Amino acid sequence: MRAPLAPDWAVYRVVGTLAAMRALLVVNPAATTTSARTRDVLIHALASEMKLEAVTTEYRGHARDLGRRAADSDDIDLVVALGGDGTVNEVVNGLLHGGPDPDGLPRLAVVPGGSTNVFARALGLPNDAVEATGAILDALETGSGRTVGLGIAAGTPDTPDEGVPPRWFTFCAGFGFDAGVVGRVEQQRERGRISTHSLYIRQAARQFLADPHRRSGAITLERPGADPVRELALAIVCNTSPWTYLGNRPVYATPAASFDSALDVLGLGRLSTAALARYATQLLTSTPDRGPRGKHVASFHDLTDFTLHSKVALPFQMDGDHLGLRSSVTFTGVRRALRVIV
């Protein structure tokens, strides 16, 4: 892949203006927490500071195509994603289609517009789109940013899923129970329901009642040089912490996870009614220092390479996007994958 020259951030700081910067703004018009009027205000604010091209997404995968176009261009310094975590995921996969190059690829900025906005909030940005835009402009003026690690999930060789292409994720992936919940929520949204935390809770209860593998898990975690961990009912892979938010409450599945390390994994086995209630309470009361614990809890920190296998095809999700059923997924943690504005 061609390596475009990185923007000279020092020059921007010296002249005190961002007028020389070229930016692509990717706008998801279906973002749940921003109105058309708010989006217009944000576009105007960004366009008044830099040379901005704003494109509204028109189909699933459009944000990925726009990110790819930016990565292959010679004159785009910055890509701004205005939308939820799904929009950000698509933009990131487009930017990194040729592999990571944090010093050569356009920088990424995120304006939160979804219902949860885990990636933006994990970066420390305000959860309000207007406030986040102001913070991004301030960061651009001062040259503030960081390089983050990301995860890749791909089909496993010599399995029925070996043809599944690699895909990047920014904050989490899930295999089994939690991915089933995400799939149920997506079905409800397709029927016109609004994505709310109560909707997730209701669908989690229904997934629990319908899951035939919750008492004797079907998932096995395999790591190089270590014994397999078997009979997991769910596996959550985290690239940062918190794992998610319930309103303003952060939920820590793997408290040690960080954008500066590889991937963390939380595996839970034997999801009886009592066990689920215990784990749910532990998650709701989790802190940056304490996550779920117990006899049937498996937790691992800073894994670079590992595979999740299942005896049967199970639901799989990445960054809150349900990707169907899989029987095996291979994960890679990539440090220093992308430069972001914060």
- Say if 328 falls within a structural domain: yes
Check if the beta carbon of residue 98 is closer than 8 Å to that of residue 45: no
Does 174 share its domain with 225? Answer: yes
Does 124 share its domain with 265? Answer: no
pLDDT band at residue 189 using 50, 70 and 90 as cut-offs: confident
Does 200 share its domain with 83? Answer: no
Q: What is the pLDDT of residues 19-61, one digit of tens each?
A: 789 999 999 998 888 899 999 999 999 999 999 999 999 999 9
What is the pLDDT, as a whole number, of residue 31?
86
Does 300 share its domain with 163? Answer: yes
- Say if 202 falls within a structural domain: yes
Of 86, 120, 143, the position where a domain reaches its end is 143
What is the pLDDT, as a whole number, of residue 8?
44
**Interval 142-154 mean pLDDT:** 96
Does 106 share its domain with 174? Answer: no
pLDDT band at residue 9 using 50, 70 and 90 as cut-offs: very low
Mean pLDDT taken over the chain: 90
- Give the range among 90-94, 143-147, 207-211, 262-266 with minimum mean pLDDT: 207-211
What is the pLDDT, as a whole number, of residue 14?
33
* Domain CATH for 59: 3.40.50.10330
pLDDT band at residue 214 using 50, 70 and 90 as cut-offs: low
Check if the beta carbon of residue 85 is closer than 8 Å to that of residue 116: yes
Q: What is the pLDDT of residues 221-249, one digit of tens each?
A: 999 999 999 999 999 999 999 999 988 89
Does 117 share its domain with 197? Answer: no
Does 292 share its domain with 216? Answer: yes
Does 185 share its domain with 329? Answer: yes
**Interval 130-154 mean pLDDT:** 96
Residue 251 bridge partners (DSSP): 244
- Say if 135 falls within a structural domain: yes
Of 143, 178, 213, the position where a domain reaches its end is 143
Higher per-residue pLDDT: 194 or 228 = 228
Higher per-residue pLDDT: 200 or 181 = 181
Does 177 share its domain with 295? Answer: yes
Does 308 share its domain with 262? Answer: yes
Does 111 share its domain with 127? Answer: yes
**pTM for this structure?**
0.90
Kindly report the three-state secondary structure assignment for every residue of 101-135: CCCCCCEEEEEECCCCCHHHHHCCCCCCHHHHHHH
Strand (E) or helix (H) holding 231: strand 229-232
Q: What is the pLDDT of residues 165-177, one digit of tens each?
A: 999 999 999 999 8
Structural domain harbouring 116: 22-143
